[in-house]
Amino acid sequence: MNVRKIPLLAWIGAAIVLGILLGPIMPIWLGNIFITYNSLFSGFLGFAVPLIILGLVLPAIAELGKGAGKFLGITAGIAYTSTILAGLLTFVASIAILTPALKDTELKVLSEGGGSGLEPYFTLVSSPTGNATEIVLPPLMPVMTALVIALVLGLGLTAFKNSTSLKVAQEFRSIIEVLIRKVIVPALPLFIFGIFLDLSKSGDAIKVVSTFMIVVVLSFVLTAVVLVLQYTVAGAIAGVNPFKALWNMRDAYATALGTSSSAATIPVTLESTKKNGVSNAVAGFVVPLCATIHLSGSMVKITCFSIAVMLVGGTSVSFTSFLPFILMLGVMMIAAPGVPGGAIAAAAGLLTQMLGFGDMEIGLMFATYIALDSFGTATNVTGDGAIALIMNKFAKDQHLGDTPTEAEFAAADENPVNA
């Protein structure tokens, strides 16, 4: 059997089970080896996060400057708004449901002073702490600095079509995507094994699994609610039955469950979208674009699980402190690479910088996110059909006919009917 063909979810599941089973019986000296690996991985991830943000966000913003002008801008605006509203809905529901449900489930390893007794033999850190066994690997810049630079340069590059600078940014993105796909994601199972080994040593592993089953159910329900709301709005705007339109997207949803990839599901999403009366040109324009920039399902999962991690870690959660995270996460979701675990890898910097997550919290986020990766992807691609309905109505209002071409998109942008 070719181990490379084993899906990431299977590796993650095996890592969790083995970590829980081996924790109580593993010698401290051997456990410390895995904790050392976790320290090295976490330190490298901290170094790579600013590069990931630059490599993904900068070309993503720059590429939004190309294409059919107003149509692209409106589509991107709707996608971002949909993603943010999904995050806000998840925040309200998570606070209302998880706060009472998790009030007595604080974890020792996430609380100050808690732990399992496992210690790394040496550490890889971003700044010196005075420990004799540490290796210092500082990131090139802080996370927020990288994000602001990416936004500024990305917006600047929108004015230069086919520029050398844009090509450099796109090539840098390719390097970052290889880094995520070939280095970070394959290293995750052993990292998560170390996390659950530590949890098992501390006696919290079973509590974590039982606690997060509640969160899994909640996040699944919320993805369904988000889809119903998206199609209710789209149906009202486009004048179609929202539930029939949602049912017509069932093939895209099922395909995404199997592939865990928005990009791989594009052909099926296109055909499903056309069943709702969306023109060929609008579907061909909106669906591939939204496969990249519309990640409302991923927003639901990351928001829900991050709140759960904060609650079980004894951290208070307030709307004023969480809103900036949701707004920035929406930007990161636009740039997230289309590989399993890509969205949470792109969001890791924000979780660390804005929510104060440490190694243990990041490990839990990776494990829980990847466990539900396919459901988030299915929500993402199904929601793309709702945006296509809205844009199809907009195209008709611009008198572009049933099958507008890209040239007609551009002409409508220069001579808008409703301006």
pLDDT tens-digit readout, 203-246: 777 777 777 788 889 999 999 999 999 999 999 999 999 999 99
What mean pLDDT is predicted for residues 346-372? 83
Tell whether the model's pLDDT for residue 260 goes beyond 80. no
Instruction: For residues 51-55, give the mean pLDDT.
Output: 85
Residue 217 tokens read as 């159910």
Q: Which pLDDT tens digit goes with each residue over 301-339? A: 999 999 988 888 778 888 998 999 999 888 887 766 666
pLDDT on residue 368? 80
pLDDT at 400 over 60: no
pLDDT score of 226: 95
Residue 403 pLDDT exceeds 50: no
User: What domains does the chain contain, in order, with CATH numbers?
Assistant: 8-414 (1.10.3860)
Q: What is the distance between the alpha carbons of residues 222 and 391, in angstroms, rounded to a whole number? A: 25
Alpha helices by DSSP H, listed for 275-372, are 280-293, 296-312, 319-335, 342-355, 359-371
What pLDDT shows up at residue 302? 92
pLDDT of residue 225: 95
Residue-wise pLDDT for 104-138, tens only, equals 666 655 554 445 567 888 888 777 766 657 788 88
Backbone angles phi, psi at 76, to 5 degrees: -65, -40
Q: Does residue 392 register a pLDDT over 60?
A: yes
Give 177's DSSP letter.
H
Mean pLDDT of 179-194: 86
Tokens 């997550």 correspond to 357
The 3-state DSSP class for residue 118 equals: coil
pTM above 0.85?
A: no
Task: Find the range with the poorest average confidence among 161-170, 334-343, 349-358.
Answer: 334-343
CB 24 within 8 A of CB 116: no
Cα gap 20→196, rounded to integer Å: 6
Contact 189, 14 (CB under 8 A): yes
* For residues 372-378, average pLDDT: 83
**Phi and psi at residue 240, to the nearest 5°:** -125, 160
The pLDDT, as a whole number, for residue 399 is: 53
Please tell me the predicted confidence (pLDDT) of residue 388.
Answer: 93
With pLDDT > 90 as the criterion, what percentage of the chain qualifies?
A: 21
Confidence band for 282, pLDDT divided at 50, 70 and 90: confident
Question: Which string of b and e fits 127-155 if b means at least 16 CB within 10 Å?
Answer: eeeeeeebeeeebeeebeebbebbeebbe
